[in-house]
A = this chain, B = another copy of it.
């Protein structure tokens, strides 16, 4: 599975670091692994569904942990959503984390004709959910754009419901289907490939999420590895629909194998 590779797509949380209320901790070997990828001449994109912060803030956090990463190397849902909003003249009501709001600075938000939902965390209040619901149910044809469909994630203080759960609540209440712009959406992986200038059959996705990372990438014809770090659970290996091209213990091991084949 490691042959003929020209570009790597790396999930971030659970592959580079373990997140937590206090920022997070790098996963052993990952800082060095990113450095080795860059030294090898392979193309590289960081593919995150992170929607709790602007890319600027997100990248700064990773740099603080020692990672060689820049904003221009990150593929994330919020900029993808902004492109869609612009193309379709949509004015969003935002149900997102406060720290993500600056990503939508250039977008007209007056008199909303759609709802954009991200991982709003503490902003997922009863009042805010009712408000987003009222905007949607007031439209003739509700438009709900979701910056991901994750079920839950782990922070140092425990598991948290992710954006997908709240997306489902609004979908059910309004009888609509959300348009998902983060992983595992096809468009998300296609953007990342285009940004690298690498065709799917020459790319490998490395992630900890069997559905959003592995399943999403494979549906685009990209090989995908699951790391046994982050949210990986042994039962993932019996997933009824998705089978990774390979398992690796962590990013460092994946990079070892891939670089040996170059």
Q: Which residues of A pack against B, CB within 8 Å?
A: 121-122, 124-126, 129-130, 133-134, 137, 151-152, 158-162, 164-166, 168-175
Q: For the complex, what is the distance from the CA of A182 to the CA of B98, rounded to whole Å?
A: 37
Q: For the complex, what is the distance from the CA of A171 to the CA of B166, rounded to whole Å?
A: 11
CB-CB under 8 A from A166, the residues of chain B are 169
The residue of chain B having its C-beta at the shortest distance from the C-beta of A164 within the complex is B172
Q: Is the CB of B173 within 8 A of A169?
A: no
CB-CB under 8 A from A134, the residues of chain B are 158-159
The residue of chain B having its C-beta at the shortest distance from the C-beta of A171 within the complex is B168
CB-CB under 8 A from A164, the residues of chain B are 172-173
Cross-chain contact of A159 among B122, B124, B130, B160 (Cβ < 8 A): B130
Cross-chain contact of A125 among B125, B170, B172, B174 (Cβ < 8 A): B125
Q: Is the CB of A159 within 8 A of B172?
A: no
Binding site secondary structure of chain A: helix
Q: Is the CB of A137 within 8 A of B152?
A: yes
Closest 8 CB pairs of A and B: A165-B169, A168-B172, A169-B169, A165-B173, A124-B126, A151-B173, A168-B168, A152-B173
Cross-chain contact of A169 among B121, B130, B168, B175 (Cβ < 8 A): B168
CB-CB under 8 A from A174, the residues of chain B are 151
Q: For the complex, what is the distance from the CA of A125 to the CA of B89, rounded to whole Å?
A: 33
**Nearest chain B CB to A157 CB, angstrom units:** 10
Q: Is the CB of A160 within 8 A of B124?
A: no
Cross-chain contact of A165 among B158, B162, B170 (Cβ < 8 A): B170
CB-CB under 8 A from A126, the residues of chain B are 121-122, 124-125
**Nearest chain B CB to A142 CB, angstrom units:** 12
**Nearest chain B CB to A74 CB, angstrom units:** 26
Q: Is the CB of B121 within 8 A of A133?
A: no
Cross-chain contact of A161 among B133, B151, B152, B161 (Cβ < 8 A): B133
CB-CB under 8 A from A133, the residues of chain B are 152, 159, 161, 165
The residue of chain B having its C-beta at the shortest distance from the C-beta of A172 within the complex is B168
Q: For the complex, what is the distance from the CA of A235 to the CA of B151, rounded to whole Å?
A: 33
The residue of chain B having its C-beta at the shortest distance from the C-beta of A155 within the complex is B130
The residue of chain B having its C-beta at the shortest distance from the C-beta of A170 within the complex is B165
CB-CB under 8 A from A121, the residues of chain B are 126
**Nearest chain B CB to A209 CB, angstrom units:** 14
CB-CB under 8 A from A152, the residues of chain B are 133, 137, 173
Q: Is the CB of B170 within 8 A of A130?
A: no
12 more A-B residue pairs beyond the given contacts A133-B165, A134-B159, with a C-beta to C-beta distance below 8 A:
A121-B126, A125-B125, A129-B165, A130-B158, A130-B161, A133-B161, A134-B158, A151-B172, A151-B173, A151-B174, A164-B173, A165-B170
